[in-house]
Structure 1
Amino acid sequence: MVSANCSTEDSFKYILYGCTFSMVFVLGLISNCVAIYIFTFTLKMRNETTTYMLNLAISDLLFVLTLPFRIYYFAIRNWPFGDILCKISVTMFYTNMYGSILFLTCISIDRFLAIVHPFWSKTLRTKRNAKIVCVAVWITVLAGSMPASFFPSTGTRNDTGQNTCFENFPDTTWKTYISRIVIFIEIVGFFIPLILNVTCSTMVLRTLNKPVTLSRNKLSKKKVLKMIFVHLVIFCFCFVPYNVTLILYSLMRTQIWINCSLVTAVRTMYPITLCIAVSNCCFDPIIYYFTSDTIQNSIRNRSKWQLAVYCKVPSPRCSVRHISAIILLSRFLNVSALHI
């Protein structure tokens, strides 16, 4: 408890978590399985950007697969799966969130090098180096997430006797363990990537506005601008609210400051911002399409191949109406690719 005089009622979070996590599970499972299939089996040409995207999709999928346990817990409000599964689900949550942040940062840095320093960065922007960076990201996020499982993650509610998973920790646990973990993941997993994303995007915009680049293809410049816009919107929308609230929540739990109005506001905002952060599993596939020409070409080529197979032999199913619909879809994909 934060203070004997402060209201800490936040039971609404269980319904919010259950509904949000259920939606994220369905959409995230489908979209990320499709993304991994495209990256693994459909793409004929892979580059460093698709390497980062593949690892991002794998991170999202691993987290999504742990959601049924959390959904059951939020519905029943009792954790029957034991301490080990609780540790795994919590570790995967933070691994996914900060892994997503770091992989998105890698994509941003890669775009910065390709546009601002296109010549000397050729030796850096290789698939081999991208794989090394991905391994470093996985090691970093696991190093930051694993300490959360070093202490008991399950507990018992005093009023009902039900088991809990990674909640209702005493203030001493927050002061000695969790607050230190929060400091590490906030600095390494959020503030540094945020600065890098904003800096890289700013430098790319400045480069595009130089006289040398003003004469380039306007459609290409529009595409880059939309890529940057979508990237920053998803990054800021999903991660900034939660991480700012997490800092305030940590200050509240360690009793560095106690103000009942702020305590109520933070306890209300924390579940909401956490649900927004979890939704990044559904938004990441948008990043895949808007960032990669390879994926766009793959989708268009796939649609053309399906048209050829579908109408290879004249038959009633290959009517003018079907052909027109597929042609319109193909044209839409081509126009979308030009204007992204």
Structure 2
Amino acid sequence: MSSLVLNETGLENCGIDDSFKYNLYGVVYSVAFVLGLATNCASLFVFCCRMKMRNETTLFMTHLALSDLVFVFTLPFKIFYNVSRHWPFGDTLCKISGGAFITNIYGSMLFLTCISVDRFLAIVYPFRSLSIRTRRNAWIVCATIWLLILGGGMSVTFFSSTNQSKTSTTCFEGFSKKTWKTYLSKITIFIEVMGFLIPLMINLACSSMVLRTLRRPETLCQIGTYKQRVLRMIVVHLAIFIVCFVPYNSVLFVYAMVRTRALASCWVERLARTLYPITLCIATFNCFFDPVVYYFTSESFQKSLTTGKSQSMPEAVQEDDGFLRIKEKTDVANLHALTSNGKDQVSETNL
């Protein structure tokens, strides 16, 4: 959370100088703006204008790109602020810019988690999940996530405001010890649990169960050559979580402990205030890493991006972004035929 990361007053007697963060933020935000704007606009163009086959995964990816763009559009203001060290854009835009970071970071984690759960259901429970994996339910999940991340963003930006001095105006900076101890520490813990720890555990659980399912010979017969694409999907998702989100959220917890004086140590504070800008910059890169998910886990996205159109699959078999999905009616009919005859009782995870 930008508004949580940049509000640093510290202990006066520790003599900590973290002014390097301004130049670092200026460079990183500039790179993130150019690459994030280009990749996410291109992704939305493909999703909305070129892809013929739109499923639940595509819907989650579309909202993931939107959450990235919300953050990318605020980066020019952040770039100007960190270069000039002056915020001339007013208090309202300061709050919006602070909330946009939360929307991006935790929106990305939640939408990536939705994609992982969708793939898990499709591969491990292909028949039972037919009634769950619908566009209507996907829209409900997306709306719920937007309410969560916007609510979390507003709860933090409520305390964000500009602070004027004789020479400049600051933004995201100057939270008092009382504000941290009374409000921000509790908000931080809630966001960490709901927006990071739970999604991380869900991703790890879904990935492990998908890998276990893929090791079964009967599953290999079902998905064939699509196994490599599923494995690539798992690697990409976990890489984004581990590289972009784990370092930032881990250090954020320690930073909150320092700001509330639960850890009253100059060494710990120096370490936290040095690592915060670095891990924040790494987390910022997720806004143009996310399109890697689209490209490497969706063959239809690749075809739409490279050829200008997505090729239709045969009627009996559809490609569902990472594995072969037998046409639903045929699947259900075959399943009922097997179970109704009392023969060849088949467990769902073996199909």
Normalising TM by the smaller chain, what interval?
A: 0.7 to 0.9
Matched, 1:294 2:300: yes
Alpha-carbon distance between aligned partners in 2 of 1:133 and 1:152, rounded to the nearest angstrom: 29
Matched, 1:53 2:61: yes
Secondary structure of 1:44's match? coil
User: Corresponding residue for 2:11?
Assistant: 3
User: Corresponding residue for 1:142?
Assistant: 150
Which structure: greater helix fraction?
1
Aligned pairs, how many?
305
Alpha-carbon distance between aligned partners in 2 of 1:65 and 1:218, rounded to the nearest angstrom: 42
After superposition, the C-alpha distances for 1:293-332 in whole angstroms (9 at most, x for unaligned) are: 2212323442899xxxxxxxxxxxxxxxxxxxxxxxxxxx
Query: Which structure 2 segments of 5+ residues have no match?
Result: 1-8, 312-321, 324-351
Letter in structure 2 aligned against 1:54: T
Matched, 1:203 2:209: yes
Percent of aligned pairs with the same residue?
A: 54
Q: Residue 81 of structure 1: CA displacement?
A: 0.9
User: Corresponding residue for 1:277?
Assistant: 283
Secondary structure of 2:170's match? strand
Alpha-carbon distance between aligned partners in 1 of 2:141 and 2:310, rounded to the nearest angstrom: 35
User: Corresponding residue for 2:109?
Assistant: 101
Q: Residue 156 of structure 1: CA displacement?
A: 3.3
Task: Within 5 Å, give how 1:237-316 maps onto structure 2.
Answer: 237-302=243-308
Which of 30, 33, 38 matches 1:30? 38
After superposition, the C-alpha distances for 1:169-210 in whole angstroms (9 at most, x for unaligned) are: 111111122112111110110000000000000010011112
Which of 182, 186, 189 matches 1:176? 182
Contact between 1:17 and 1:275, CA under 8 Å: does it hold in 2?
A: yes
Q: Residue 168 of structure 1: CA displacement?
A: 2.5
Contact between 2:102 and 2:153, CA under 8 Å: does it hold in 1?
A: yes
User: Corresponding residue for 1:114?
Assistant: 122
Alpha-carbon distance between aligned partners in 2 of 1:87 and 1:304, rounded to the nearest angstrom: 41
Runs of 4+ in 1 over 6 A off after TM superposition: none
Query: Which structure 1 segments of 5+ residues have no match?
Result: 306-336
User: Corresponding residue for 1:81?
Assistant: 89
Matched, 1:128 2:136: yes
Q: Residue 28 of structure 1: CA displacement?
A: 0.5
Which of 161, 185, 203 matches 2:191? 185
Contact between 2:46 and 2:305, CA under 8 Å: does it hold in 1?
A: no
After superposition, the C-alpha distances for 1:265-318 in whole angstroms (9 at most, x for unaligned) are: 11110000000101101101100112222212323442899xxxxxxxxxxxxx
User: Corresponding residue for 1:225?
Assistant: 231
Q: Residue 257 of structure 1: CA displacement?
A: 1.0
Q: Residue 23 of structure 1: CA displacement?
A: 0.5
Q: Residue 122 of structure 1: CA displacement?
A: 0.8
Letter in structure 1 aligned against 2:86: N
Give TM-score, length-normalised by structure 2. Answer: 0.83
